[in-house]
A and B are shown apart, each in its own frame.
Chain A
Amino acid sequence: EMQLLESGGGLVQPGGSLRLSCAASGFTFKTYTMNWVRQAPGKGLEWVSAIGTSGSTTYYVDSVKGRFTISRDNSKSMLYLEMSGLRVEDTAVFYCAKGAVGSYVYDAFDLWGQGTMVTVSS
């Protein structure tokens, strides 16, 4: 069974840092583009970042550029999101999501994790 499991969320003060992880299983991780999507409480979905299959190509929404870094370890089937300079407006559930087709940079997301909550507050 294909599965994504996020971890690493929590409460952090404004300006702080946090590292999210996403463990993948049940599919050939290294052959799929992976993404992070977030959802602020009571709000809609916002795509945050994507990473190509090798990890050499990365993409970010403008609001997190320079603060967030996406990475992956294909040997461990793991996806990461390193977040620094966190702001109150970054408070959200963060989901990792798998690209549907494979190596397409931009893709629909056919598998989602259960999400991990990040709360930025003093």
Chain B
Amino acid sequence: DIRMTQSPSTLSASVGDRVTITCRASQTVSRWLAWYQQKPGKAPKLLIYKASTLESGVPSRFSGSGSGTEFTLTISSLQPDDFATYYCQQYNSYGTFGQGTKVEVK
């Protein structure tokens, strides 16, 4: 089974900060990697798929990169609406999620 590890688990940041979240896979997943945003009490929302493709309607301040086993999600300038928990998911084999990264107010 492929295991996904995100870091950090919690990230404290301010509006306007550049934020980077890392996701590592226990074996290669090629570019079959997605990122989701989840707010409390809500369903997850797809942000990025195939490692770097922005889902329609998602602001361009979100970007993804990486391939193989190491991936990053970057928010270029954190906005008030971006405080949430972010999950990576590999879909090379089944659909394992990372444990999540909570972006909180500094």
Contacts and interface: CB of A to CB of B under 8 A. Distances in A.
Contacts of B44: 45, 95, 109, 112
B97 to A, nearest CB: 4
Q: Give chain A's interface residue range (CB within 8 Å of chain B).
A: 20 to 34
Contacts of A46: 97
Interface string B89-101: 1011111111110
Contact of B43 (A47, A61, A108, A115): A115
Interface of B is mostly: loop
A47 B94 contact: yes
Interface string A5-46: 000000000000000000000000000000101000000111
B62 interface: no
B89 to A, nearest CB: 7
A61 B99 contact: no
Interface of A: 35, 37, 44-47, 50, 59, 61-62, 95, 100, 106-110, 112-115
30 contacts: A44-B87, A44-B97, A44-B100, A45-B38, A45-B44, A45-B89, A45-B100, A47-B95, A47-B96, A47-B97, A50-B94, A50-B95, A61-B94, A100-B46, A106-B92, A106-B94, A106-B95, A108-B34, A108-B49, A108-B50, A108-B89, A108-B91, A109-B44, A109-B46, A109-B95, A110-B46, A110-B55, A112-B43, A113-B43, A114-B43
Interface of B: 1, 32, 34, 36, 38, 43-46, 49-50, 55, 87, 89, 91-100
